[in-house]
Amino acid sequence: MVGDTSETPEWDRLYEVAAAQEGLFATQQAAEAGYSPQLLVHHIRGGRMLRVRRGIYRLVHFPAGEHEELVTVWLWSEQAGVLSHETALGLHGLSGALPAQVHLTLPAAWTKRRFRVPEGVVLHHADIEPNERTWAGPVPITSVSRTLNDLATSGLSPELLRQAAQQALRRGLTTRGELADVEHALAPFGGLAA
């Protein structure tokens, strides 16, 4: 039975999950591999694992990854969130700006949930369709068109929005027809072609 902690712990199974997530895993993923909370504590004390934050762990000997902070935020969201807005823009390589905060879109149904948001994380709430998401390494991010349209409605500076949209169009990552919100946001500033 999945999640039954009476199973024999399967290190290879846990390692496989963690390897796909830059060495990180959540309590539920550990349980699915047969690791009880008590066994996790045992491995933490033994130096094999490290508690990154509540419910999220790291295999100590796994090499540090480029997106480790983003994986931690995604695991915190119970894998329901999608990295979005400025964070997704940077992951798509459409902006030289490095956002100071991680932007994460959670399902609209989560609006009423109460939880402690990690420091440096900005939450948005919307239902993101499967065709509006893609992957950047181990984490889900909004598609280029969804990212640009989200930024158009969230008040990104017209100059940065225009630059990112033009770059995406030049690289063939989206089409003008997919950027209705961008077109609308830039209309008072000379449009997309200005």
Binned at pLDDT 50, 70 and 90, residue 100 comes out as confident
Instruction: With beta carbons less than 8 A apart as the criterion, state whether 5 and 35 touch.
Output: yes
158-170 and 144-154 are packed helices; what angle lies between their axes, rounded to 10 degrees? Answer: 170
Q: pLDDT tens, 24-82? A: 999 999 999 999 999 999 999 999 999 999 999 999 999 888 899 999 999 999 999 99
Average pLDDT over residues 121-135: 97
Q: Say yes or no to pLDDT of 2 above 50.
A: no
Measure the CA–CA gap between 136 and 91, rounded to whole angstroms: 7
Rounded Cα–Cα distance for residues 85 and 155 (Å): 11
Domain parsing of the chain, residue ranges: 11-59, 68-189
Checking if the pLDDT of 186 tops 80, the result is yes
Whether the per-residue pLDDT at 6 is higher than 60: the answer is no
Distances (CA, A) of 176 to 65, 166, 188: 35, 9, 17
